[in-house]
Structure 1
Amino acid sequence: MQMSTYGLPQFSMRFVPIWRRNFLVWKKLAPASILGNIADPLITLIAFGYGLGSLLQHVDGIPYIHYLASGSICMSIMMASSFEALYSAFSRMHVQRTWDALLNAPLGLDDIVLAEMLWAATKSMFSGIAILGVMFFLGIGLHPHTLLVLPILFLIGATFASLGLVMNAVAKGYDFFTYYFTLLLTPMMFLSGVYFPTRQLPDWLQVVSDLLPLTAAVHLVRPLILGKWPAAPMTDLVILAVYCVIGFYVATILTRRRLLK
């Protein structure tokens, strides 16, 4: 079926088998995949939480390891979702030609892009659940509020998956993703309140920080893990939703231009 390059995404329930296909492939490597995704945040918690935490014991009246853990889970979701939407999706699209095979079936390209986005969000949420388990073991986040973190983790994953699929649509090779991680995601980690309060930043950087999706994610997740309520939940949810919707729309347009031209 012909479609306008810039038309709104057209979905059907046919994205479900594509999502399921990715899930079944992942199941074969699930333990290694989850372990790999929790290794970095676990090392961060131990190295910074206990190392730096011995010198900087409290931030805003919160034990530093609790402060760090409640921010680093958002960072971990961002990285896990981005990795899946970049390296794994690019492999299926360009190297393994899985997308070409799917397009020979009665499937639309928009369904494939939607399935990739939802799968990346799902996979990152699996990793987030594993990280929450580690946090519970350390005595962090043992509050009923923490249950509300799960749907937020999925939204965070979907947001960064959508942004990652934009990069995936224009990438010529794996090396291209290094720029995305180095120039966008890594600076965002240090500007979004993961390691320290954003009020420590210069005024102009605080303005930038307030517009970043990772900052919105931290604003939502940290209070819940600490047993409190977010200060401005609707604002932060809207920021994440705007990045997710616009990112997905741009990713759909660029993917159409690449594969259907």
Structure 2
Amino acid sequence: MQNSNYSLPAFSLRFIPIWQRNFLVWKKLAVASVLGNIADPLITLIAFGYGLGSLLKSIDGIPYIHYLASGSICMSIMMAASFEALYSAFSRMHVQRTWDALMNAPLALDDVILAEMLWAATKSVISGVAILGVMFMLGIGLHWNTLLVLPLLFVVGMTFASLGLVANALAQGYDFFTYYFTLLLTPMIFLSGVYYPVSQLPPWLQAISQLLPLSAAVHLVRPLVLGGWPMTAASDMAIIALYCVGGFYLATVLTRRRLLN
């Protein structure tokens, strides 16, 4: 069993019924869930975009509200995927014992983890689509390039869902997630160019910023929303893929050690 904890995840289509189960449960509170996920980025967009935007008209020739919107959608994807992979997944694993019930069916733990990751990514994209709709109403992102943002948002959601499941495997209670949000996600927002250019940071912080998954997401999404093309697409996708694959593997190993040993 010790060696099997570190084996590569075993993928199968058995994750689909688990994903469907989570979707059916979510449908009962879909409206409240979507509104809750878009409320914070929407408030940020309006308050900072129009409030601070009245003082800071543009950044590098880009209207500030456009600059902010193209970064805040990545932030909202990160937060939505993280909340689902942390609080909701922990509830199903530890409090409601849903995972225990699933494990009594012909399912493997790897199927459950994969379903949780893909469901968290799916839920984050649903929120992202709602935010895109608000952006369109504000006249932001009205380009054909914006269509390419949707698959990118799903990959970004997968990445932060995978990282969230790592924390979920380590958590002993809900309080643990406060540290994850406060010490990891919140600093990442301010280091990833969501609110202002990374070039304003000290050189050593700029170096750290280039290695963060949220920075890579912003580098990919912002040019597309603004009607252009990413300048460093290959390296940014490599960073996101590394965090996604590495995070999912680590989450699988840690969850196996917690539940199977």
TM range (shorter): over 0.9
Please list the CA deviations of residues 61-99 of structure 1 after superposition, one character each: whole Å capped at 9, or x if unmatched. Answer: 000000000000000000000000000000000000000
Q: Give unpaired runs (5+ residues) of structure 2.
A: none
CA distance in 2, matches of 1:51, 1:2: 56
1:2: Cα distance to partner? Answer: 9.9
Q: How many residues align?
A: 261
CA distance in 2, matches of 1:3, 1:14: 23
CA distance in 1, matches of 2:229, 2:12: 36
Q: What's 2:9 paired with?
A: 9
> Mapping of 1:199-218 within 5 angstroms?
199-218=199-218
> Mapping of 1:63-78 within 5 angstroms?
63-78=63-78
1:59 aligns with 2:59: yes
Please list the CA deviations of residues 141-182 of structure 1 after superposition, one character each: whole Å capped at 9, or x if unmatched. Answer: 000000000000000000000000000001000000000000
Q: What's 1:158 paired with?
A: 158
SS at match of 1:5: helix
CA distance in 2, matches of 1:56, 1:208: 26
Q: What's 1:246 paired with?
A: 246
> Mapping of 1:52-201 within 5 angstroms?
52-201=52-201
Q: What's 1:33 paired with?
A: 33
Q: Give unpaired runs (5+ residues) of structure 1.
A: none
Amino acid at match of 2:58: H
Amino acid at match of 2:239: I
CA distance in 2, matches of 1:132, 1:206: 28
Q: What's 1:22 paired with?
A: 22
Coordinate RMSD, CA, aligned:
1.0
Q: Report the identity percentage.
A: 79
Please list the CA deviations of residues 165-221 of structure 1 after superposition, one character each: whole Å capped at 9, or x if unmatched. Answer: 000001000000000000000000000000000000000100000000000000000
Q: What's 2:50 paired with?
A: 50
CA distance in 1, matches of 2:3, 2:211: 33
The 1:128/1:115 distance shift into structure 2, 3 A limit, reads: same
CA distance in 2, matches of 1:2, 1:18: 26
CA distance in 2, matches of 1:126, 1:234: 26
Could you state the TM-score of these two structures normalised by the residue count of structure 2? 0.99
Could you state the TM-score of these two structures normalised by the residue count of structure 1? 0.99
Amino acid at match of 1:153: L
1:232: Cα distance to partner? Answer: 0.9
Please list the CA deviations of residues 9-47 of structure 1 after superposition, one character each: whole Å capped at 9, or x if unmatched. Answer: 011110000000000101111100000011001100111
Moved over 6 A (4+): none
